[in-house]
Structure 1
């Protein structure tokens, strides 16, 4: 469902929607005519030709909405307790971008907290897009997180200190958090840059032979529709069909977080495709994916459903090798407990945005939620901070199962607490 923003109206809003698959397009506005001069510039690709910046119609990303409100999965009290554990309370010195990214995509740019030691959504956003704030945390000797690229701004990623851990994870996190494409970005040597500068560089840089395309696919799907193909820096054609095929290909053990991020990204692509097809807009009528690839995506997601239906332990947790199906239960591996947190939290997250046809029995979902709630609340603050990225997915997943978002629920919770204390 595409809604008009309260801040600006769309010039080309999509009408129509599926009753059970709802996506909100918040704050949309046609924008190619107002793209920053930096990202409008023509850039040279590896073959010596020229490629204009990819035209993007909207200034706000798509926002995918959850489908269910099930208090038997998580109660208000349980959700409040879990969210309290995953508030973004990070030290100022050597603040890890990956932790901030996970917190931001969970809480969103509008998140506010009464505790001054907890980062607000705006503070998290600014840490990731303002080189000055990065230097204040890491010092001048650490290479910049934001790097000047040929077409815009690239993100330093990898295992080095002060880097974003995964390719395009920062891009996807900011997009999920609701950043504006016009948001100013402060990088060395890039005057007047905006978030679009990061997005355009990523569109150029993406390659199908990378180990990780999960976050590239997600971020691009939140910005590009109804456009579904473009050209990369080396002159190769890129499309959501190609990205979806790449996400499907390969065994689950090779994917990040036991392959669950691939599943979430595929579910997001499928949701956006269905809304496009039902919108009534001629430009969106063909969907995000071709008919054949869409079938492949749903077949793959159905196979994941079947595997997690038989790989769940009696306590409700899913193991890191959930993709082995019943063998994961019959021949359990000696794995670290946090791997169950990863698998269980991530599966609950994608299931919250999936149609019921792709669900295991609801009782299995409720058992998984009860296990992950207990596992989260048992953690000391120090222990949880060390594994913050994994537990942030738990907070987001549980909020989605109450058909809300963490920041929205927390705002209401804080107001109720304040009112109660004043009585």
Structure 2
């Protein structure tokens, strides 16, 4: 046998072995493939995380202060931020924001307003999604071998932020066995989406605001750490580190949403001890600094500029900012302060001025203007309700038993019959950062 023949035989054997390995790998279960990959890479495979809860934890507000917002003004704002959406090409981002504010069980008498169960179904039933977007739409629910992933990104028909879908349903209080009907599969539940999020979470994620909240509301006390799909250990100390990294101007919603998530972690730690003592202290000091910057940057009329993270320097930058960005900053600051400890509170007059500005700004907007920036104003409604130690659904349901709609017939119509979701929907992304202040 010459050298050429021997070489050909060796190659043939290698091809056969490679084919055998490929076929064997293909015949493995999805869990088997993960375990094999983990063995090759010397990492621990992902195993389902124990979830002992049927419903998520709910963080309750700490203050009932009518000097911050009266019942009448709260009702006015909540009336304007009801989820009164046109159902044609309805953005999941709008529904997610409405759901986290109003909860999954609110029942509106007005048929033109989406009820809580309708919002839940829109996000968890591919059939309901297709009724809005048509058969050619890119699905938001993606069926994986061992779970359900969420299709997210900078498209109107998708969830906009990483794990925002999961966090919104979680904050809405929906149970872990909520059914999920994907494009081609029945039998999944919210638990499958949660497990997929835990498996999929990367330790270098750019957006961790909603992952931290969703995991925090579901995992304790049974689970305080887990191994992700890459074999990396993840715990709440790591999540806190990711939330605090970088300049405070960075992050979604002018850097304010990660502040809310950090406050949530502290409140959860009070009950479940999910943080180390040094990490808890670090978060507390971080939030103290956020509070001080918020106070230093507040404008005379109560607004927080989008550049609040620069403290007093932000005041000179405020004239060049779009108003909706100041709605974002002001609303989010009011939101996290409503669940923050007394030791983290600014002078109450700072809170009152912020609330007065946000109420008046909301009051003078038409319903169409509110809907075109709905995501931002949903935070306003939620924040103001929290400052009365309640939640939008609880307050609104009781209020409407004895009070009419402030807006009358105009408040129950879709202005001009226009598809409000065809309007521009400015939404900040992690790349939408503010420039540094000028150096004097």
Listed one character per residue, the Cα deviations across residues 243-279 of structure 1 (whole Å, up to 9, x for unaligned) are 0011011112221001111000000000010122xxx
Report the counterpart of residue 251 of structure 1 in structure 2.
Answer: 247
Contact 1:108 1:178 in 2 (8 A): yes
Contact 2:101 2:392 in 1 (8 A): yes
TM value normalised by structure 2: 0.82
1: CA distance, partners of 2:128 / 2:149: 17
**Change in CA separation of 1:363 and 1:141 when aligned onto 2, cut-off 3 Å:** same
2: CA distance, partners of 1:43 / 1:83: 50
1: CA distance, partners of 2:181 / 2:363: 38
Offset at residue 331 of structure 1 (A):
4.8
2: CA distance, partners of 1:233 / 1:357: 39
Listed one character per residue, the Cα deviations across residues 168-202 of structure 1 (whole Å, up to 9, x for unaligned) are 00100000000100111101333311100110000
Q: 1:372 aligns with which of 354, 358, 368?
A: 358
1:325 counterpart SS class: helix
Contact 2:149 2:196 in 1 (8 A): yes
2:402 counterpart SS class: helix
Report the counterpart of residue 313 of structure 2 in structure 1.
Answer: 327
1: CA distance, partners of 2:379 / 2:294: 18
Offset at residue 110 of structure 1 (A):
1.2
RMSD: 1.8
Offset at residue 309 of structure 1 (A):
1.4
1:56-95 equivalences in 2 (<5 Å) = 56-95=51-90
Offset at residue 102 of structure 1 (A):
0.2
Gapped regions of structure 1 (runs ≥ 5): 1-39, 277-286, 419-423
Listed one character per residue, the Cα deviations across residues 30-69 of structure 1 (whole Å, up to 9, x for unaligned) are xxxxxxxxxx978826535643210011111000000000
Q: 1:398 aligns with which of 363, 381, 384?
A: 384
Listed one character per residue, the Cα deviations across residues 278-298 of structure 1 (whole Å, up to 9, x for unaligned) are xxxxxxxxx110111111110
Contact 2:46 2:230 in 1 (8 A): no
1:10-409 equivalences in 2 (<5 Å) = 44=34, 47=38, 50-226=45-221, 227-276=223-272, 287-409=273-395
2: CA distance, partners of 1:272 / 1:154: 26
2: CA distance, partners of 1:144 / 1:161: 12
TM value normalised by structure 1: 0.85
**Bigger share in helix:** 2
1: CA distance, partners of 2:205 / 2:165: 17
Offset at residue 413 of structure 1 (A):
1.0
Offset at residue 151 of structure 1 (A):
2.4
1: CA distance, partners of 2:323 / 2:136: 36
Contact 2:161 2:207 in 1 (8 A): yes
Contact 2:46 2:199 in 1 (8 A): no
Aligned residues: 371
2: CA distance, partners of 1:133 / 1:331: 44
Offset at residue 360 of structure 1 (A):
0.9
Report the counterpart of residue 428 of structure 2 in structure 1.
Answer: none
1: CA distance, partners of 2:271 / 2:333: 23
Between stretches 321-330 and 124-133, larger displacement belongs to 321-330
Listed one character per residue, the Cα deviations across residues 374-409 of structure 1 (whole Å, up to 9, x for unaligned) are 001111111111100000000000000000000000
Gapped regions of structure 2 (runs ≥ 5): 1-29, 405-440
Report the counterpart of residue 422 of structure 2 in structure 1.
Answer: none
Offset at residue 158 of structure 1 (A):
0.4
Offset at residue 161 of structure 1 (A):
3.6
Report the counterpart of residue 11 of structure 1 in structure 2.
Answer: none
